[in-house]
Amino acid sequence: MVEIELKFKIDNVSEMIRRLKEIGFFMSPFDFQKYQKTVMHDNADKIMQKKDCRLRVRTAGENNIELSYKKPITREGIKKEIEYELIIDDDDGEEFKKILKEMGFEPVSSYEKYRTTLTRNETKADIDEYPFANYLEIEGSEEEIKKVANELGLDMKDNLTESCDNLFAEWRKERELKPKTNMLFKTYDKT
Q: What pLDDT, in 10s, does the model give residues 29-67? A: 888 899 999 999 999 999 999 999 999 999 886 667 899
Closest CA relative to residue 79, chosen from 179, 20, 167, 178: 167
pLDDT above 90: percentage of residues in the chain: 78
User: Reduced to 3 states, what is the DSSP secondary structure of residue 11?
Assistant: coil
Rg of the Cα trace of the chain? Answer: 17
Three-class DSSP category at 154: coil
CA–CA gap between residue 110 and residue 127 (Å, rounded):
19
Domain boundaries, the chain: 2-183
Could you say which architecture CATH assigns to the domain 2-183?
A: Beta Barrel (2.40)
Phi-psi region of 156 (alpha: psi -120 to 50; beta: other; left: phi over 0): alpha
**pTM, to two decimals:** 0.90
Q: Can you tell me the mean pLDDT for 73-81?
A: 85
HSE-up of residue 49 (Cα within 13 Å, Cβ side):
13
Cβ–Cβ under 8 Å, residues 126 and 116? yes
Confidence of residue 5 (pLDDT cuts 50, 70, 90): very high
Measured in degrees and rounded to the nearest 5, phi and psi for residue 17 equal -60, -45
User: What pLDDT sits at residue 63?
Assistant: 67
* Beta-carbon-side half-sphere exposure of residue 86 (alpha carbons within 13 Å): 10
Residues 6+ apart with CB under 8 A from 94: none
DSSP 1: -
How many whole angstroms separate alpha carbon 189 and alpha carbon 130?
Answer: 12
Give me the pLDDT at residue 101, please. 92
Per-residue pLDDT tens digits for 103-120: 999 999 999 999 999 999
Residue 131: predicted pLDDT: 97
